[in-house]
Amino acid sequence: MGKSSVLLIYTGGTIGMKTDPATGALVPFDFNGIYDEFPSLRRLDVDLDILPFEPIDSSNVEPKLWIKLATIIQEKYNDYDGFVVLHGTDTMSYSSSALSFMLQNLGKAVVFTGSQIPIGVLRTDGRENLITAIEIAAAKEDGRSVVPEVSLYFQNRLFRANRTQKFSAEELSAFASFNYPALADVGVGIHYRYGVIAKPEGVFSVDTSVSNEVAIVKVFPGLTEPLLRTMLSAEGLRGVILETYGAGNAPTFGWFIRTLEEAIRRGVHIINITQCASGSVNMDIYETGRRLQDIGVISGRDMTTEAALTKMMCMLGRAYTHEEFVGVMKRPVRGEMTEE
Ligand code: ASP
């Protein structure tokens, strides 16, 4: 069998930076020169093609980047065994979650990675992240990709992308997946957990529909009626991620429930996501959760905010009826929530 082929798409972020000797500041380097920065990359037993975009800090990511990535993966799908996307860490969980919803019936690995320290700095974490992400994207068994889903590799662990959150601005192990086990652990070898990796099914297709008529509203002690009312009456608003307490609880004040109810009646979809890093929304437990359920708030169960938001953005972009949209938000479509 020949070598595996991987397309490495560089979008920006810390990984593609080095210190400018003149100023001492970190600046992006021309990614076409990655082999000069990192000569041992040539030793990988993989046919690697590099596609650099104009680098951006991932704080500037907009849905058009997701569409561009999904479109390129669609166009090049038959040319490569796998794909690696280098991306800034700040919004990597958003972008990789969005891609997981745009790419349907994926039969090849799409691995996102980046780094906390630039690849052009001696103590970088980027080299290991990059090399291992490429190895994972290239990995095949019986001619099939070992991880046929959108994943995120960081500091020795491979995660299902739509289960991740960036939880540390400091630690090299910056990402976590609190509600789903790692797909692989990396030590001396790469240990895949086959039982938790998605199985490919159906024919690969791409749907890049996306809507940004959404908002995240975080409940906090002291939230006022005028503020909530203003946020929920924003023009064009179609969907809200309501970040609640604990197991999906929110105030039972009359004005609070009424304001949400009015928005739902106007056709705004509201998804309940917990502010806790791990665990799930369960609106059956407390009165404070039941009231939300009664007025038609949808349980986001154990989805991350990043997955819930990007799922909602992608599903709002599709021509679903109200009932279809509610149905699709309530069930896992890419393993982003635990089955009931
Ligand atoms: N601000 C950078 C970004 O997200 C941070 C990083 O890449 O780690 O683009």
Report the CATH number that the domain containing residue 304 is assigned in CATH: 3.40.50.40
Helix axes 254-265, 225-232, angle to 10 degrees: 10
284 and 161 fall within a common domain = no
In degrees and rounded to multiples of 5, residue 78 shows phi and psi of: -85, -5
Instruction: Decide: residue 26, CB within 10 A, 0-12 exposed, 13-18 middle, 19+ buried.
Output: middle
Q: Judge if the beta carbon of residue 124 lies within 6 A of ligand 1.
A: no
Regarding whether 183 and 302 lie in a shared domain, the answer is no
Domain-embedded: residue 338: no
Q: What's the DSSP call for residue 272?
A: E
Task: Find the 90 Cα to ligand 1 centroid distance in Å.
Answer: 5
Q: Average of pLDDT values for 201-223? A: 97
Residue-by-residue DSSP string for 161-176: GGG-EE--SS-SS-EE
Nearest CA to ligand 1 atom 1: 57
Say how far apart CA 164 and CA 179 lie, in whole Å: 9
Q: Is 88 in the pocket of ligand 1 (CB under 6 A)?
A: yes
Answer yes or no: are the C-beta atoms of 232 and 259 closer than 8 Å. yes
**221 burial level (CB within 10 Å; 0-12, 13-18, 19+):** exposed
pLDDT of residue 142: 94
Residues 235 and 308 reside in one and the same domain: yes
| Whether this model's pTM surpasses 0.75 | yes
HSE-up (13 A, CA, CB side) for residue 328? 19
Q: End-to-end CA distance of the chain: give it in Å, rounded.
A: 42
Q: Is the same domain home to 50 and 195?
A: yes
Instruction: Give 51-67 pLDDT, tens digit per residue.
Output: 999 999 999 999 999 99
336 within a domain of the structure (yes/no): no
Q: Which of 206, 228, 243 is the last residue of a domain?
A: 206
322 alpha carbon – ligand 1 mean position (Å):
37
- Which ligand 1 atom lies nearest to the CA of residue 116? 8
Same domain (yes/no): 244, 116: no
For position 128, which CATH number holds?
A: 3.40.50.1170
Say whether pLDDT at 19 is over 90: no
Q: What local confidence, expressed as pLDDT, does residue 308 receive?
A: 98
Question: What integer pLDDT is reported at residue 1 of this predicted model?
Answer: 65
Q: Does 181 share its domain with 240? A: no
CA distance 21 to 27: 10
Mutate to test the pocket of ligand 1, among 18, 26, 58, 112 (most ligand atoms within 8 A of CB): 58
- What integer pLDDT is reported at residue 37 of this predicted model? 86
Cβ of residue 55 lying under 6 Å from some atom of ligand 1: no
The answer to whether 269 and 260 are in contact (CB under 8 A) is no
153 plus 255 within the same structural domain: no
How many angstroms separate the alpha carbon of residue 97 from the centre of ligand 1? 17
Which one of 206, 233, 253 terminates a domain?
A: 206
* Residue 197 CA from chain centroid, whole number: 16
What integer is the mean pLDDT of 165-176?
97
| pLDDT value of position 294 | 92
Is residue 227 assigned to a domain? yes
Domain that holds residue 76: 4-206
Ligand 1 neighbourhood includes 126 CB (under 6 angstroms): no
Q: Quick one: pLDDT band at residue 210, thresholds 50, 70, 90? A: very high
Sign of the CA dihedral running 136, 138, 139, 143: positive
Residue 109 corresponds to which amino acid?
A
- The predicted model gives 306-316 an average pLDDT of 98
Q: Name the DSSP class of 149.
A: S
Catalytic residues: 14
Q: Is residue 96 situated within a structural domain?
A: yes
Centroid of chain to Cα 261: 30
- 156 and 224 in a common domain: no
Instruction: Answer yes or no: do 219 and 191 share one domain.
Output: no
C-alpha to C-alpha distance for 280 and 273, rounded to whole angstroms: 8
My answer on whether 134 and 259 are in the same domain is no
Question: Do 260 and 289 fall into the same domain?
Answer: yes
Q: Is residue 337 in some structural domain? A: no
**Contact criterion met (CB below 8 Å) for 295 and 261:** yes
Query: CB of 70 within 8 A of CB of 96?
Result: no
Q: What is the pLDDT of residues 276-302, one digit of tens each?
A: 999 999 988 888 888 899 999 999 999
Contact 317, 325 (CB under 8 A): no
The answer to whether 150 touches 197, Cβ cutoff 8 Å, is no
Indicate whether 340 belongs to any domain. Answer: no
What 8-state DSSP symbol labels residue 200? P
Q: What is the pLDDT of residue 290?
A: 86
Q: Do 22 and 149 have their domain in common?
A: yes
- Taking each helix axis as running N to C, give the angle between helix 254-265 and helix 287-294, from 0 to 180 degrees, rounded to the nearest 10: 30
Tokens representing residue 111 in the block: 């691995």
Separation CA 269–CA 241 (nearest Å): 9
Tell me what pLDDT residue 321 has.
95
Query: Per-residue pLDDT averaged across 145-164, rounded?
Result: 98
Confidence label for 92 from pLDDT (cuts 50, 70 and 90): very high
Number of domains into which the chain is organized: 2
* Predicted local confidence at residue 283, as pLDDT: 86
What are the DSSP calls for 281-299, one per residue?
A: --TTSSHHHHHHHHTTPEE
Among the residues of the chain, which ranges form H helices?
A: 34-37, 63-76, 92-102, 126-138, 225-232, 254-265, 287-294, 305-317, 322-330
Domain boundary among 206, 226, 246: 206
Share of the chain above pLDDT 70, in %: 100
Question: Does 104 score more than 80 pLDDT?
Answer: yes
Residue 143 maps to a domain: yes
Distance from Cα 126 to the centre of ligand 1, integer Å: 12
Q: Strand pairing partners for 240?
A: 215, 270
pLDDT of 263: 98
Q: Is residue 322 part of a domain?
A: yes
